[in-house]
Homo-oligomer: A and B are copies of this chain.
Amino acid sequence: MTTLADKALLPTGLEDLVPPRAEIEGRAVEAAVGFVAANGYRRIKPPLIEFEETLLGGPGAATGPATFRVMDPLSQRMMGLRADMTIQAARIAATRLNGEPRPLRLAYAGQVLRVKGTQLRPRRQFTQAGIELIGTDTPAADAEVIMLAAGALEHLGIGGVSVDLSLPTLVPAVCRGLGLDDATTESLILALDHKDAGTVAALAGPHGALLGGLMEALGPAERAVAALAGLDLPAEAATLRDRLLAVLDCLNAQDPTLRLTVDPTESRGFEYHSGVAFTVFADGGRGELARGGRYRATLEPPAPLGIPATSGEPATGMTLSMDAITELLPEPPARPRVLVPAATDPALRRRLHGQGFVTLGALDGAADLKAEARRLGCDHVLEGDHPVAL
């Protein structure tokens, strides 16, 4: 026989939320979805599981190694348990909703699973809430999604929000423009992600000044913009840089108080992004609270080494990490709890709910109703039709 402790054991990276955390998360998800709905994003709900072929196409390819697979006994085809909902939104946009006017604004919330966590974040089930903005490729679209990521956090009561912008395909574009080979490009991407100036200089050779300049064009947006604007980039890279500058202009025009930083060569965690990408943090938040960016809503396989996809529609989107967000949110104010006789009429209970009370039925025929109320964490008992404080 297994012990009680064994029975409580969940697989690493999976957890039970108990009161009040589950309620806090549930409310936060609905509040986030409500906020983006007010901004025109309509909710979709894809299934937890679908054919591997559709789940891992296009931007989904990046999640392949993280995806649990099961055999479908009906079709004998392999299915995947989603590790990300972005690809599902892209699929729905391209199929069921392909007749809707563009830009198409979609929202979703749900659970995703990953085969393994990381050492830093062992979690394997995540609560995602997010949006996708599909069929438009303007700086204003990039800015809208970033504003909504920051705005959703503020709507949930989280202060001290800051957004870090990057261009994960900038370094490959620079290297292509400079005629560097693939091996050098890969090494440079890695060295720039690690801000390893020595290796960057050694790899870049005659282009050391340019790549070193790129690496140093980071920090608060104003400072980074000045440095970036002065760099003499190859054409494709210059276009990416100019887009970033245009997005920063849009953000400043809408909300000059939004805290923005830039790290143009950062590419870690952006597997399928092809334009301006971003992560959102907050003071006191452990790690990132949201991330997103521009990509192509295609179901075709991705091109290697940051060559922009050309199939599918231009798209951008963001996902809120509701697990990390929930950890920052306070417990909702406790509602008064009133113990009522089991036979209390539902209409009277509804009236009490309307007055803000939680009603608990006294089920076990306790002789002393007040003692029973205290035992159950109630602060009132019903006398006649009225709650009386203990």
Contacts and interface: CB of A to CB of B under 8 A. Distances in A.
A77 to B, nearest CB: 8
A250 B18 contact: no
A46 interface: yes
Interface stretch (A37-45, A162-170, A221-229, A275-283): A37-45
Contacts of A23: 37, 42-43
Interface in A119-154: 125, 133, 136, 138, 140-141, 143-144, 147, 151
Contact of A353 (B38, B74, B253): B38
Interface residues of A, number: 102
Contacts of A365: 138, 140
B51 A11 contact: yes
A75 interface: yes
A47 B346 contact: no
A95 B8 CA distance: 6
B151 A250 contact: no
Interface in A1-33: 2, 4, 7-23, 25-26, 30, 33
A360 B7 contact: no
B343 A253 contact: yes
Contact of A255 (B10, B42, B346): B346
A115 interface: yes
Contacts of A377: 101
Nearest to A74: B12
B53 A2 contact: yes
A51 B6 CA distance: 11
B358 A40 contact: yes
A48 interface: yes
A363 B136 contact: yes
A26 B30 contact: yes
A156 interface: no
A254 interface: yes
A50 interface: yes
B363 A141 contact: yes
Contacts of A140: 342-343, 361, 363-365
Interface of A: 2, 4, 7-23, 25-26, 30, 33, 37-40, 42-51, 53-54, 57, 68-70, 72-75, 77, 79, 81, 88, 91-92, 94-98, 101, 103, 105, 108-111, 113, 115-116, 125, 133, 136, 138, 140-141, 143-144, 147, 151, 250, 253-255, 299, 337, 342-346, 349, 353, 357-361, 363-365, 375-377
The 7 closest A-B pairs by CB, nearest first: A8-B95, A17-B45, A22-B45, A140-B342, A19-B42, A40-B360, A14-B47
A193 to B, nearest CB: 27
A337 B19 contact: no
Contact of A18 (B79, B96, B349): B96
B50 A14 contact: yes
Contacts of A54: 7, 9-10
Contacts of A116: 73-74
B364 A103 contact: yes
Nearest to A13: B74
Given A20-B42, A40-B359, A363-B138, A111 B113 contact: no
A78 B241 CA distance: 49
A325 to B, nearest CB: 15
Contacts of A15: 47
Contacts of A13: 74
29 contacts: A7-B54, A7-B95, A10-B50, A10-B51, A11-B74, A16-B45, A16-B46, A17-B45, A18-B92, A18-B96, A18-B97, A26-B45, A26-B109, A37-B358, A38-B349, A38-B358, A38-B359, A40-B337, A48-B111, A48-B113, A70-B81, A81-B81, A111-B111, A138-B364, A138-B365, A140-B363, A250-B342, A250-B343, A254-B344
